[in-house]
Structure 1
Amino acid sequence: MASARISIVIPSSFRTEMLRRSVRSVLDQSMPDLELVVVNNGRSADVAASMLGDFSDPRLRMVSLRRNSFFCAPVNYGVSVSTAPYVATLNDDAYLDSHWAEGVVTTFEANPETGSVASLVVQAGDPTLIDSAGSHVDLWGRASNRLWGSPLDALAGGVRPVFSVSSCCAAYRRQAWEAVGGLDEDFTAYLEDVDLGFRMQLLGMTCLLDPSCRAYHYGSSTPTSSSYKAFLIERNHVWNVVKNFPAALLKRHALSIVKANARPVVLQNGSSVRTLLSGKMAAAALCRRMLRKRESIQRSRRISVAALESLLMPTSPPVCKL
């Protein structure tokens, strides 16, 4: 088998048949020189074998973690054992268009300064609607998927810059991934892609959305309670600001940042004052650790504050969809 040009990592707890569709969509790509790493996220070997035991493709590898570590840790581990110059993440409730890998590699090769490529992710339940067209962050640190719920024709034109990928289906240049240290495992899940994208932007690495690279996402298939998801989002919004906002932006928008973080994030299923409080308290408990990370991140910043500010949205989305 020829050397892989792209490695695709799928973390999974093997709780859904959707995983088989995800795996098949990778193995059926028009560009055959790829590898697929499925991370068995804390399930028994018997469960994993029952789900994927009949796949005999040599490009497929399964690696295991002893316990369910949710998202960041299994993705980091999967990337660490992969080999290709480009790496990608794919949710186990998402699947790829057959030309996805070919399109991603072509976009990277045509844009050597690009650190990551975002896909146009379509809602699998209603393929006329967008699930994400990359992610954005507003001036106060709030993040969401771009154009979630918009019709497909709302996205006209070709390749263009966005703030960051959505890790439901994301691709990275390995050198860029390693330069920023991969996903921050303290985040556990949610906003981890925005945090990584922020760190890449601070180093001057652009993110490009290629609408021809399509994936399909069912969404809300991970067995996670809504309250825990809201807790993680509330906590991680604070950490994203603490780690990544330059001092000049913090000073300029301090009052608005505080006000934004004092309001519960509006999710699809509503919001909760209780999760707001628990999330912010958890953020404060580890704030000293985030400040240590901040020192290194801000010391290596290469982008100007003005250029960074121009990338941030001046308004927040009405609903946080991550």
Structure 2
Amino acid sequence: MPATAAVVPNRNGASWLPGLLASVAAQTTPFAEVIVVDDASDDESLAWLAAHASHVRVVALPAQRRFAAAVNAGLAVVSPAVDAVALLNTDVELDPGWHAAMRAALDADPARGAVAGKLVTLADPGVVDDAGDILRRDGVCEQRGRGHRDDGRFDTPGPVFGPCAAAALYRRSALDAAGGLDERYGAYLEDVDLALRLGLAGWTGWYEPGAVARHAGGGSQAWLGAPVGALIARNTLVLVARFFPWRWAVPVLYRQCSWLVAAARRGPRPLAAHLRGVAAGLAAAPAAWRERRGLRARAVADVASVVADRPWRGPAAGGHPRGAA
């Protein structure tokens, strides 16, 4: 029988774990196993798990390794019988039918390597948080629907670049072949890198709106160690250096310039954080660049077929409505 493991990376998520694990236990289709990987938390996470979640397998890392490494530590101990893995952030609560709908979507096509559900905000479930990710050729990963009212526009299932790893389902064989998450990202864009590698390997992504999860969006803050803007600036440059062809240099440069101007307008501190991120990205880019030949040699699909030719400027490029998180 098909079996799914739920892997939950945790760093100081004691306040989130009760809601998440209660929603996991309430699934109409149970998970075969639930694994919480604690990334050297210094809150009450481990004590709470010991007292209230004896059914959960806990992997306690002795030193902090950050989000991507915590996920990989969980993947390493998933039982051999498991053929699909759900990645769940601590700040997520699943509707009871989430696993059943996600699993049905994955099983419907053996070419599907990952499934995205509909993420709505925990504070207001009438607002979309993410309806599947879309990677543009300027290096931006667009969270489709973010900040928009859940008014039916995002109720149609269909192909999507990849899922947000806050609540995503992956085929085990696809994850194993990809080697899990790239730990150099730490946090932010590690799921985008994975989706891109899966696409290059010939796997497809799918969006299933019937699988709804509520996302608070603050549970990953304990992993950051730097402003979000700095991490996104750094990791975008790593992603671009690793995968993007030279012919996409114009949209990438356009986006980098627009981000620089936007950071400057926000003030000296956001500008300094952004510049630190850019400097870190430029320092990491040469190593990422050297991996391109090997990645291309293993790919069965061209990057242009995985990263669709979408507008990268103007209203048609997407973006979040004013005031959205």
TM-score by length of 2: 0.88
Alignment correspondent of 1:235: 234
In the alignment, is residue 261 of structure 1 matched against residue 256 of structure 2? yes
Aligned with 1:262: secondary structure? helix
Aligned with 1:286: secondary structure? helix
**Structure 2: how far apart are the matches of 1:70 and 1:306?**
31
Tell me the amino acid that sits aligned with residue 67 of structure 2.
F
Tell me the amino acid that sits aligned with residue 77 of structure 1.
A
Equivalent of residue 74 in structure 1, options 51, 70, 73: 70
Structure 2 vs 1, CA of residues 286 and 304 (structure 1 numbering), >3 Å: closer, same or farther? closer
Aligned with 1:285: secondary structure? helix
Equivalent of residue 55 in structure 1, options 34, 52, 57: 52
Alignment correspondent of 2:93: 95
Total equivalences in the alignment: 313
Aligned with 1:9: secondary structure? strand
**Structure 1: how far apart are the matches of 2:139 and 2:112?**
23
Q: After superposition, give the CA deviation of every residue in 1:223-256 in whole Å (9 maximum; x if it has no partner).
A: 45795221110001111111122x3xx32x3122
In the alignment, is residue 25 of structure 1 matched against residue 20 of structure 2? no
Alignment correspondent of 2:243: 244
Q: CA deviation at 1:139?
A: 1.7
**Structure 1: how far apart are the matches of 2:75 and 2:257?**
36
Alignment correspondent of 1:279: 277
Aligned with 1:127: secondary structure? coil
Aligned with 2:214: secondary structure? strand
Aligned with 2:164: secondary structure? coil
**Structure 2: how far apart are the matches of 1:185 and 1:305?**
22
**Structure 1: how far apart are the matches of 2:94 and 2:187?**
22
| RMSD after superposition | 2.6
Alignment correspondent of 1:152: 150
**Structure 2: how far apart are the matches of 1:229 and 1:71?**
14
Structure 2: stretches of 5+ with no match in the other structure: none
Structure 1: stretches of 5+ with no match in the other structure: none
Q: Does the 8 A contact of 1:204 with 1:302 survive in 2? A: yes
Q: After superposition, give the CA deviation of every residue in 1:83-140 in whole Å (9 maximum; x if it has no partner).
A: 2110111111111111111111111111110010001001010010000011111121
Aligned with 2:308: secondary structure? helix
Tell me the amino acid that sits aligned with residue 273 of structure 1.
L
Aligned with 2:85: secondary structure? strand
Tell me the amino acid that sits aligned with residue 208 of structure 2.
D
